[in-house]
A and B are shown apart, each in its own frame.
Chain A
Amino acid sequence: MSGVVHTNTAELFLVGQDASNMMGDPAGVCYPTSTAEVQEAVRWARAKGMTFIARGAGTGLAGGAIPTAGSLVICLTKMNQIRSIDVARRSAWVEPGVLNADLSRRTSRHGLHFAPDPSSQQSCTIGGNVANNSGGPHCLSEGVTSAHILALEVVLPSGEVCILDAENSLFDLRGAFVGSEGMFGIATAIEVRLVQNPPHVSTMVVGFASVHEGAMAVSAIIAHGIIPSALEMMDAPITRAVEEYVHAGFPLDAAAMLIVEIDGLEHSVSHGSLEVKDIVHRFGATSFRVAKSSAERALIWKGRKTAFGAIARIQPNYYLHDTVVPRKKLAEVLSQVSIIAAQEQLQVMNVFHAGDGNLHPILMFDKRVDGVMDRVHRAGSEIVRVSLEAGGVLSGEHGIGLEKRDFMRWMFTENDLLFQQKLRSAFDPEGISNPHKVLPRGSGCADMSSIPPGSWV
């Protein structure tokens, strides 16, 4: 096994990072191609007294894939086979390194797709989606990753292989594993649920004169009993940045725009769209456009999902946040976010899953400016604080990782955290699988460690 563990500086530099602003300290990296090789890697690490961390594409934003404590990085990108597709049952067994968008591309000829669609779907892996219980715009009606995972083959931290599914345990071990951020073991095969492609889709782009009116319209649509397949908001700064290079026809005069998508059978789509049109106009919509072709729809979604790339046109660095608030508090919390950014003299843009109340404020900065990181971090913790005060939660889809572990006490009691630790201990009694994540430091329940360079909480 040691023969296939790489320790050269360049590779360790690469796997020491993810899409957060942190840097880890990996001791080695290996690229298994089978369940047996993952098992061997885990056993090898155990025998050496090392901890280990599973890694997919490294697109996570909360530092969940940052190796700590000199872990062995078990990189799963070479386990990228779709093992089987069961069209009748609408399910597939896939390996963890399969890319999210590839799975939907490969199943499209059967009229099926994998519903969770994070913005990183062109590069993120299904294994990473399982670890983070990932979301995406279309999780509003379809539910997040957990609702789409039927079974898992897992290499436990002990080195044993087991299946977690609905038939072989009373407790929902599958449900407990999804979203455990790599701390319960390594998923080596994943049975996913596939969803029928909708026969009809209506995608609407609506402009508003204020963020407040847009947010009120979001609440009104849901309160009216319409569950769109996606309900996204972009504020004026990000809309302009995106429009300049995607040319999706977004309204440049609007202070906020919504993308509302309704899919399903013919009449529910046509009636739903009419109702949405009616509601948004009642809330002061300044423009309303329906995509007339699938190409137009694709361009709208390209604009939405590549929004983060557009930021480079404004500032070299950005920090993307992720909290959830009750929908009725959207307008209030968004205005607090802009005050917080102004206080720290930072530019902020918002592009987010409004229908879920899932905020994604993006703080933009140039990290070469002295002291700017302190301001970014202060603003970040204030955003978390106001979200919790509004009755919200720490994270809607990015996870806790290293980024938010020390905020966990803001949301949970010590006893809540103790029971989370008990669950972790049942899977990983020695705390060797992706140590030091999620649970806060300084309590009986955290793995003991130093903070990796670059982490800020």
Chain B
Amino acid sequence: MTDQTHSTISLLVNDVTHRLSVDNRRTLLDVLRDDLDLTGPKKGCDHGQCGACTVLRDGRRVVSCLILAVAADAAAITTVEGLAVGGRLQPIQEAFVRLDGFQCGFCTPGQICSAVGMLAEHAAGWPSAVTVDDAPHAAPELDEAEVRERMSGNLCRCGAYPAIVRAVVETAARPGVAG
């Protein structure tokens, strides 16, 4: 009889396929950090409350601490390490650097992955809790209130929020950037 408490999974992480044997109890976050040495996603609270472990799963932002690695089998994962293309930072990353969107930097990989996912959600026309929903087919402008609401799943213990919001608002306003 096979050991049912372990599973063999396949993960496409930052465009590289990994075949891994995992204890079913392990989270995607732990596998990314400990098995694949991708330490961008951070273990902040480990309860899905802080957003420091945010990655993209099949293009959508998720908290990797509440996803069992075995349940992520066959998923495409993007961590902050996989955002830059050919050594070129994405606009949101460049904006965080230029506008000082962090202090200690611990929450930054999660903030940036969350922002990438959020901009795509906005481009797809998704509303938020602060969206005045009288025109359900038009995406609202990503102003400060929209960005604060849509990014509320990422806590910053240093309180660098003003610069984080500036970086996201400015990136959203750039032509050619989703959002």
Q: Does B bind A?
A: no
Residues of B in contact with A (beta carbons under 8 Å apart): none
